[in-house]
Structure 1
Amino acid sequence: MKFENLDVWKRSATLAIAIFQHFKSSREYCLKDQIKRSSLSISSNIAEGYERMSSKDCVRFLYYAKGSCGELRSQLYISLQVGEVSTELANKWIIETQELSMMLAGLIRAINNANQR
């Protein structure tokens, strides 16, 4: 399977695009840089994992993507508190990171279970 066909990759790429667009004019350069990087890291690590030649490597990069979901969620809470993101948008993106994290956990589980057979 190609990573481009994975719903978790599609959704994470869509989230990164939305975040890049939202923070385009932000003057909070440090926060803007960090939040853009963590959002981009999710889909990038999924892609990199799927391009690896072993399931073990794939799972490792999926864990990196899952970690980036947590990092992004933390940054969204901070962005909300400093007024860079509205409550409605922050909550929407926080829920999306939680759902992406669950999807990644399921994908990791499925790959690990397939390797145990």
Structure 2
Amino acid sequence: MNKKSFYSHEDLVVFQLAFETAMKIFEMSKKFPQEEKYSLTDQIRRSSRSVCANLAEAWRKRRYKAAFIAKLSDCVRAACRRQAEAAETQVWIKFAVKCSYIDIEQGRELYKTYNQVLKGLINMINNPNQWIIGE
């Protein structure tokens, strides 16, 4: 699929994956204890949603290469503590597993999915000309 086949950020596989996973996290986090409402629950929901929101904004800025890359970098920063090591959402997933709020298999699946999201974002950053619509 070339860039002309994409009409919206919602057409991007990386966006679809991030959105679907954010919704899974939302559903799972409904079962977290009330005392986590303003800490873990809030943090994991915010970080997972932030990836989607920043990617949507990056898509709208793709007319200008520098703005596009900067906004994609915000996606990665929103998702990452250290770009190549641990996504913020992945850190919260680990906490949720360790606190027994989600089981280890659910945690592994979410963690694996965020590795795919990060890989897709980094690929877009490293290959911006594929996505830019003109400069």
Q: Which has the larger radius of gyration?
A: 2
Q: 1:99 to 1:114 in 2, by over 3 A?
A: closer
Instruction: Name the SS for the 2:127 alignment partner.
Output: helix
- Alpha-carbon offset, residue 96 of structure 1: 0.5
Q: Hey, what does 1:55 align to over in structure 2?
A: 65
Point out the structure with the larger helix share. Answer: 1
> 1:62-81 to 2 correspondence within 5 Å?
62-69=72-79, 70-81=87-98
Identity across matched positions, percent: 22
Instruction: Name the SS for the 2:100 alignment partner.
Output: coil
Residue ranges of structure 1 left out of the alignment (5+ in a row):
none
Q: Distance in 2 between matches of 1:89 and 1:63?
A: 27
Matched, 1:45 2:51: no
Higher relative contact order (CA 8 A, sep 6+): 2
Q: Which digits, 9 at most, give the CA deviation of each residue in 1:61-109, with x for residues without a partner?
A: 2122122331101111111111111100000000011111111111111
The amino acid across from 2:59 in the alignment is Y
Matched, 1:86 2:103: yes
Alignment root-mean-square deviation, CA:
1.7
Instruction: Name the SS for the 1:83 alignment partner.
Output: coil
- Alpha-carbon offset, residue 113 of structure 1: 7.5
Task: Give the number of aligned pairs.
Answer: 115
- The runs of at least 4 consecutive aligned structure 1 residues that moved more than 3 Å come to 112-115
Instruction: Name the SS for the 1:84 alignment partner.
Output: coil
Q: Hey, what does 1:99 align to over in structure 2?
A: 116
Instruction: Name the SS for the 2:102 alignment partner.
Output: coil
The amino acid across from 1:71 in the alignment is E
TM-score norm. by structure 1 comes to 0.89
TM-score norm. by structure 2 comes to 0.78
